[in-house]
Structure 1
């Protein structure tokens, strides 16, 4: 997804040639090698001055026209992202309603989305709903962990998490205006791992719980109470912590990674639950065996095997590069054992997964207890 910042809306909304030039410079050189599927024209414009919002739809129309000239209007959809501030009411979900003060630009925006089969893009943050209304919203409800249900009194629909409630509030808001074909896309959601003293829920554990449960919820295609089984596209905010972002401490700590590329907490994206990428991943064994470098292997064979594991073998090896957390002890046997065992555990702990041309050897004794190996550290992608 490519975004056009609010600062560029004026020029793109005023002249079609500006939109044509933007598409020529920002999209066409990279498509289709880069899989570009959406262009977001502006971001959360209802939080900006009214003059900014007035530019959105004209800019969207110009971008769409530019795409049509290039024959890409069906492959790349045009929309705009919004905050929950676009609603005047979100609870109960069935009473969801758009803020009437935004009607001047929302009506043409929704007409555009419906006509061109583009999604309504929303940034959802159950964290803020909990932080600002702890007497009304439970932490478990915000984290997808609630064992109880919240009933919408108008529809009788049962909600077990805040995320679904907010999604359905958008759908009901759309339906109230008779826009029944527009799909909702979540362009931002997540949970901060650190916050200011009063932001006690901003912890790595809660962030891991929220995003893990979110991924499972989305992959299972359970939909929401109002849209059961409906597929939902969701973007997690964000990849990296942003250390220069102003505001409360939480504003700088939404990332899955620190700026140095180490993990803030552990998470996977297959919906099976968080995978621990720290030392235990390397030393834990599903069948009580490990794979380490053979003491009889030559230095050349170990180098070749290590090179293969960290490249063709797809082992996450950045951590054993110089200056990284797992580089010490700096020995070929140590680094090779780290890579061998990673590959072995990731590929079913079978005999063949510990071959490495004769350079690997299986052991039923946890190697971290008797050999100096950098097991207790995080793993990263590696180029050897």
Structure 2
């Protein structure tokens, strides 16, 4: 373990079961309600349909009074629009703009929750220069009319764009607007920045596939398994077309000094049928695209350039529009039929959503182990329990893998037939013999692997530990030959491919690590690193690393660094190379390694975290060790891994991570903290609880409560007394806003009830909204004391705050 300060990465905690207690709708999922049809049901019936779903917003292409009235008091956000033909009059006659607001907004608002007015549709790419030149002025006049009606800030004004507003979109980091629109775009973005209004875009992976109908493109468009598309500008491997299209727009906005302008997806969808000569339309493809998109939005993963928050997205469309001209697919985007039944099920109904979520929850909670969570089993101690007792302990947890620093036969035998993955290691002292004598390598495999495998699930052999940074040049030069000889010995034993060979590195193998996009290996190791990475690529073996935010904090012991290291609320650290704001140190350290690997043509080499942890005590002069900090780091890290969010440069998959450590090692040298990393005591009780035991993960059967002013507490074991997380007295609104943003960014935390129109929106104060969100996070994250820390701005109370209002 070595000290190395790095930048940090974002944290999104996944709490799947909270979705069972969610509000009636999800504010980031909307739908387009087109009316170019002669067979649509009455608006009142459509309103009932929408209220039976998790759809939170509806976009109209006009301002139909029947629909707006039918949606009154539903809480559903409504986007209304002017026609393109209205633009000249709106631009030239402020009185017409006021009349438009009087007729289409004031008479319905706030009972009908109008949230955005779109001025025209795809105007910039319409080819009508007269409309283009008058667009921004029309928007200004509508905004002035809203201001005059005291609705400025409550209802936004924007316009919707086709993706062809971009001149360049591939790769996403090169996204740029067409220079033909530069004057209008400059004025438009100035308006959006001044008013806090969104940039609205219509991305359609469906059309991208029609332009490039290869199987790999289809998988990329449908969020299905694929090799991804690598963006060399940011070193991000995009795994789906939706994220790539949205991030291309993000890059274009950033290049126009509009980093703070929010993106809203006004339309996206997939046709379920079309003409015989059309490529792409089918029930299967439409169901895959829309279903996987909805799941992606619900995950709150965001896009690589906008992690941790789902982009507001309006699906196209609510119904088919049977009078639309054009190809057959234009009339086949509807998710629902005119009789209000589903065209196909993508989980939008509240009942199907609860069933699906509970199924996933059951899998997550009751799975025997989690393959991405491992633990280090060090033995520099004289008080450890017998291996057989340790095996029983491990089987009672969700730990899926164990790393040994040697190849202790008693431990390997004790883990036989448990299914637990085992990492065994050679010592640094073995490296010269392994490098120079293939027979020694064969003997090592015959002694330490073959007698136990496959009953003992040996998955990886690590050759030495932190060899590259050991200062022993003789070992460094012999490292890769030693790995080759062990691999050949495995191949000879018909175990090649079944058991991998790697070596473990300290973070100081990097020369540059801050910001993460600049990550690069120390040139002093260049020759060895080149050979090592070639070996890893050829054998499909991982690059294993020891990131320790604990040491980063010791090097920079400021409160903001501690919050950054512990996955607690903080302002983040901006990486100008990728335009990513990192929200925690772990992700930043891992992504610095990712960048360094990518720069060495090793973007497909997997990263494994061989060690990471936080000590719970230390010497008097040590900064950082404490039960509270250790519990916060390890508990929040485990939650981060379980969320499957990944890191910004490796989204959607958790990095295999071995926690340090299973037990304290009381004979280790160095400061006191070196002897205090153990998550379990020698008597096999927990040093502190971070949710690794299977019993601590098993909830009582969830029920769906009504939505109260503050969240109902999910059923929990009786050993935890009832408590609520509330802000401390004297905390500023700025701090509370940070807590609010932090809590609402978590996957599974639904802040819809405190949005405009939500049941807990009033009182409309930062303090009230923050209290709701902070308590919601505490109640759903396990109701542990560290879940109610919020950088020491929160406290627990035994008095239900909803009963004191």
Match for residue 98 of structure 1?
A: 521
Offset, 1:259: 3.2
Offset, 1:201: 1.7
Superposition pairs for residues 302-321 of structure 1, below 5 Å? none
Match for residue 409 of structure 2?
A: none
- Of residues 652, 658, 666, the one that matches 1:235 is 658
* CA–CA distance in structure 1, aligned partners of residues 696 and 652 of structure 2: 21
- Report the secondary structure of 1:72's partner residue: coil
User: Which has the larger displacement, 197-206 or 6-15?
Assistant: 197-206
Cα distance change of structure 1 residues 138 and 271 upon mapping to structure 2, 3 Å threshold? farther
- Report the secondary structure of 1:22's partner residue: helix
Offset, 1:134: 2.2
- Report the secondary structure of 2:508's partner residue: helix
Cα distance change of structure 1 residues 162 and 115 upon mapping to structure 2, 3 Å threshold? same
* CA–CA distance in structure 2, aligned partners of residues 76 and 112 of structure 1: 14
Match for residue 221 of structure 1?
A: 644
Match for residue 14 of structure 1?
A: 436
Match for residue 460 of structure 2?
A: 38
* CA–CA distance in structure 2, aligned partners of residues 69 and 271 of structure 1: 39
Q: Deviations over 1:107-158 (max 9, x none)?
A: 1001100111111000110000011122596101101113422110111012
Match for residue 62 of structure 1?
A: 485
What is the TM-score when the length of structure 2 is the normalising length?
0.34
- Kindly name which structure, 1 or 2, has the bigger radius of gyration based on alpha carbons: 2
- Of residues 716, 719, 736, the one that matches 1:284 is 719
* CA–CA distance in structure 2, aligned partners of residues 206 and 146 of structure 1: 14
Cα distance change of structure 1 residues 36 and 137 upon mapping to structure 2, 3 Å threshold? farther
Cα distance change of structure 1 residues 155 and 231 upon mapping to structure 2, 3 Å threshold? same
Detail structure 1 runs of 4+ shifted over 4 Å in the superposition. 270-275
User: Which has the larger displacement, 183-192 or 47-56?
Assistant: 47-56
- Report the secondary structure of 1:47's partner residue: coil
Q: Is the 8 A contact 2:557 2:623 kept in 1?
A: no
* CA–CA distance in structure 1, aligned partners of residues 721 and 558 of structure 2: 44
Offset, 1:262: 3.4
Q: How many residues align?
A: 282
Match for residue 178 of structure 1?
A: 601
Cα distance change of structure 1 residues 137 and 173 upon mapping to structure 2, 3 Å threshold? farther
Q: Deviations over 1:238-279 (max 9, x none)?
A: 11111111111111111112334332212223799899xxxx
Superposition pairs for residues 1-384 of structure 1, below 5 Å? 1-48=423-470, 49-135=472-558, 138-269=561-692, 284=719
Q: Deviations over 1:170-211 (max 9, x none)?
A: 000011122111111000001001111232320111111111
Q: Is the 8 A contact 1:212 1:271 kept in 2?
A: no
Q: Is the 8 A contact 2:560 2:570 kept in 1?
A: no
What is the TM-score when the length of structure 1 is the normalising length?
0.70
Q: Is the 8 A contact 1:38 1:79 kept in 2?
A: yes
User: Which has the larger displacement, 146-155 or 134-143?
Assistant: 134-143
Cα distance change of structure 1 residues 229 and 282 upon mapping to structure 2, 3 Å threshold? closer
Q: Pairwise CA RMSD of aligned residues?
A: 2.3
Q: Is the 8 A contact 2:434 2:485 kept in 1?
A: yes
* CA–CA distance in structure 2, aligned partners of residues 240 and 171 of structure 1: 30
Cα distance change of structure 1 residues 283 and 223 upon mapping to structure 2, 3 Å threshold? closer
Structure 2 alignment gaps of length 5 or more? 1-422, 699-715, 723-805
Structure 1 alignment gaps of length 5 or more? 276-280, 288-384
- Report the secondary structure of 2:491's partner residue: helix
* CA–CA distance in structure 1, aligned partners of residues 559 and 506 of structure 2: 21
Q: Is the 8 A contact 1:189 1:236 kept in 2?
A: yes
User: Which has the larger displacement, 252-261 or 82-91?
Assistant: 252-261
- Report the secondary structure of 1:174's partner residue: helix
Q: Is the 8 A contact 1:96 1:173 kept in 2?
A: yes
- Report the secondary structure of 2:487's partner residue: helix
Q: Deviations over 1:312-343 (max 9, x none)?
A: xxxxxxxxxxxxxxxxxxxxxxxxxxxxxxxx
* CA–CA distance in structure 2, aligned partners of residues 244 and 70 of structure 1: 37
Match for residue 348 of structure 1?
A: none
Compare the two structures and name the one with the higher strand fraction. 2
Q: Deviations over 1:33-69 (max 9, x none)?
A: 1111111111100232111111211110001001111
Offset, 1:227: 1.3
Q: Is the 8 A contact 2:565 2:584 kept in 1?
A: yes
Cα distance change of structure 1 residues 137 and 74 upon mapping to structure 2, 3 Å threshold? farther
Q: Is the 8 A contact 1:216 1:271 kept in 2?
A: no
Cα distance change of structure 1 residues 28 and 170 upon mapping to structure 2, 3 Å threshold? same
* CA–CA distance in structure 1, aligned partners of residues 465 and 431 of structure 2: 10
* CA–CA distance in structure 2, aligned partners of residues 129 and 175 of structure 1: 24
* CA–CA distance in structure 1, aligned partners of residues 520 and 693 of structure 2: 34
* CA–CA distance in structure 1, aligned partners of residues 428 and 498 of structure 2: 24
* CA–CA distance in structure 1, aligned partners of residues 599 and 694 of structure 2: 34
* CA–CA distance in structure 2, aligned partners of residues 107 and 252 of structure 1: 36
